[in-house]
Amino acid sequence: MIEIFYKENGQMMVSQSEADFAIIPYDNVIWIDLFTPTGDEKRAVEAFLGTTIQNRAQAEEIEISSRFSETEQAIFANTSFLIPGPDEYNEETVSFILADNILTTLRECPLKSFTDLQRRLMAFPKMYDSGHVVFLGILEQRIDLDADMVELVSKEINQYNRKVSVGEDISEEFLIDINLLQENTMLIRENIIDKQRVISSILKSARYPQEYRPRLNVLLKDISSLINHTDFGFERLEYLQNTVLGIINLDQNKIMKVFTLVSLLLMPPTLIASFFGMNVKFGRFFGESGWSWIVILALMVVSLSLIFWVFKKRRMF
């Protein structure tokens, strides 16, 4: 699908046909949004702009030379947009092409930042007089959404902290949830850093208009703040994970301590019973006496009490 945003008599208009390039003046076009475009739509845009559009494989390469490049005709920038899911986040690569004052975007899935900006574009056309302003607007919307995700992660960390503080049952699933939250936090951080790299590269470009650089610098400051928040969140998660592991180890140690104590308490009585039960002549000290079992039982109780008293005095349980 293609959407062409252009101005006509001071109003923002939108077209969804590549055939309209023949009737829309070049200087009137503000933004060309390609959403899972067909081959004909891509070729029509390339012919209109006089430049080529990167394919998806080129856009997804991680090298900085592939994330940002420029020619005499245009500036090319690729960055990842994070899509939150019920359990984990997914990344979607978006390509930006700035040719003269026209912004062209290429994406493969619907994005909230694009939808919100399109509404603002139609409602306030005077605020968007070039593709550079639209580009900045998309980045600002996206960074605001990233900030919301960082805040959401922080709230989830607080919930886990409360569960640990109130002594809620800690299980293996609890640790798995913390690990998943760690992975999401790292993914958010990597996504934010990716935008930082792209914006820094654009600031170094001589082709980008000087008048918009202050807004880019503000975005860089916002990104630095978000990176600090994600680093702090990750440190909290590591501390929480260590705390949970410590609690689990303490619980396991208590169980092992009980088993060890029971074993040690029963060792002397077992030894006495085994000694007097030996099937040898010197093993039957009391012969057939009817009160011999009472003496043996008393010795077992005395040994058990003695061991118990020693453990109690040394505070071993």
Domains in the chain, CATH or no CATH each: 2-249 (3.30.460.20), 277-313 (no CATH)
For 196-242, write each residue's pLDDT tens digit: 888 888 888 888 888 888 999 999 999 999 888 888 887 888 877 77
Output the pTM of the full model: 0.73
pLDDT of 182? 83
* Counts for the chain of helices (H) and strands (E), in that order: 8, 7
Question: Which has the closest alpha carbon to 5: 197, 135, 93?
Answer: 135
pLDDT at 126 over 50: yes
pLDDT of 218? 92
pLDDT at 291 over 70: no
Q: What's the farthest any 2 CA atoms get from each other in the chain?
A: 121
Strands (E), the chain: 2-8, 11-15, 29-35, 68-70, 75-84, 89-99, 102-107
Residues sharing a CB contact under 8 Å with residue 183, sequence separation 6 or more, in sequence order = 88
Count other Cβ atoms within 10 Å, centred on residue 307: 17
